[in-house]
Each structure stands twice: as C-alpha cells, then as structure tokens.
Amino acid sequence: MEKKYIFITIIFLMIINYFYIYYNYHYKEENNLVLFRSLNIPDLDFLTFDYLLNNHGEKEVYLCESASSSSVMPEKDITDNSINSGLTKYKKSTIKEFINNDLHDDKWYFKYEDDYNFFKMIGLEDKILNICKKSFNSNDNDTCLKSSVSFWCGGKNTKTPWHTDFDDRSFLYVIHGKKKVRIVKPKYDKNMYKINKYFYYSFWSEVDFSNPDYEKHPLYKDVEITEIILNSGDGIHIPRNWWHCVENVEPTIALTYCTYSKDYYKYCEFAEKFRKIYYEFSNLI
C-alpha cells in the first residue's frame, strides 16, 4: 500500500513539473519583437492578383467574413456543413469571383491558415517554404521539426481581430500592398477580455478594435497599443502570446511563415489537448 502511494505521488509530481515547465516555456514574455524594413524577397513578387486570377482563377476557395471583433469566430474545420450550419462566417467562391467581385469591398477576406494549405492546393508549398527558410533569420531553421505558411489576401479595410498565437516563431511578410498591425504585450492579458471558449492554438478577444465598448470592457482603456505600418517588402516577427490585430490599408497579399521546434511539440501538444478539454468542460457547467 505504501509503494502505491509513493507511485501516485511521483506521478502527481511529474504532472505538476510538466505543467510548470509548459507554463514557463509557453507564457514567459518574450521581448524580441523584430521589424524587417525593406526585407524585399524578390522570389515572392510573382504572387500578384493578376497571377492568381490568370493561373488559378477557377480554383474553389473559402472566403472568411472580415471583422474587427471576435464575437463570432469560425470553428477550426472549414466544411460545407459548417458553412451551411451558420456556425462559421465563410462562403465558397472561386479566386476569379473573389478578385472581380469581393476584393473591392471590406466584407470578405481570402485567407488560409492552420490545416487549410492554399499553397499546397496550387502546388507551391515546397517552393514557398524554401524561399521563406532562406529569407527569415530564425535560429529555429536549424532545429525546427516543422514549418508552415499561411496566406492572406484581402481588399482595403479587411481585418483580423485581436488574438494571440502559440506558434514558436511567426514572421508576417507583406508581398504586395500595405497593412496596419496593432500589437499589445502579454502583460495586458487581463485587459484584453479573452473569450471563454477554446480556439485552436490561440486566444481571441471580445474587444472590437475599430469600435471599442469601454463600458463593457473598461480595462481596455489602459492597454498600451503599438501601431506599425507594413509596406510591400516589409516583415515582422510577432512573439508568441503577444496580442495583435491586423487591417489591410489597401488591397494586400501577404503570408505568415511559422516554425515549430522540438520543445514546442514536447510542451505544447499534450497541454493543448488538456486546455481544450478544460474549456469544453467549463462551458458545460
């Protein structure tokens, strides 16, 4: 019986130690916000609106409704069923229809991330990844187990609301156009009013950055916001867990290059599953 209690105690201490290491790895505040002015990656210049229209115009894609508030956020998986159920704000389109019709207003945003790999769909994934690996100065390039690229294509005033990402290293690069990026340090977490719901490897805020409601979110008044304009050829590294929201100042094509280290998979994957269970359970109570 005594051995049993010793074994249980050891297991308990191992679990506590794991989450302690996870917390220090994942939530420690990094101070390495890096701005790349005139990075200029010529190998990516071919990704223009004309290129997409002329070479992939008939490709079916999903458009996400642009918003400055996260009050209704999409689920992780984009499917016809999720679109029709009203759980998400997506619509199916073609690239041709998007560029000819939707690019000229601020309602719909053509963006692919996480499991939605647009570059893989059009046969460019390896090429784009190799260009990014050569172009971004990241120590993770030598040790990362995985890298990914997200794609952003939207008209003037299309937006992504306040959120944080859990990626190890994340580099946003503007290929064509102009973006305004607002950034808030993690020390203002309590002022950002996290939505009490599970989102895939991220947190999202209740605050509408275009029209904040200070009666509903009074602590948001005290947040120190840094605004950065990214022009064509500019890039930025946004550290893990830093709050940010993004607005296209003009029609813009951009990408985000992310790398994931051994420690990321060691300390994040299991804990992320635990976090998902926690939110699902807490919302049932």
Measure Cα distances from 107 to 24, 100, 190 in Å: 39, 14, 30
Q: What's 242's DSSP letter? A: -
pLDDT tens digits, one per residue of 119-148: 999 999 999 999 999 998 655 555 677 889
pLDDT tens digits, one per residue of 6-33: 656 666 555 555 554 555 555 555 567 8
Measure Cα distances from 37 to 34, 130, 249 in Å: 10, 21, 17
Could you write out the three-class secondary structure of 98-165? HHHHHCCCCCEEEEECCCCCHHHHCCCHHHHHHHHHHHCCCCHHHHCCEEEEEEEEECCCCEEEEEEE
Rounded to an integer, what distance in angstroms lies between the CA atom of residue 182 and that of residue 93?
Answer: 29
What's the mean per-residue pLDDT of the chain? Answer: 83
Structure tokens at 73: 């956020």
Model confidence, pTM: 0.84
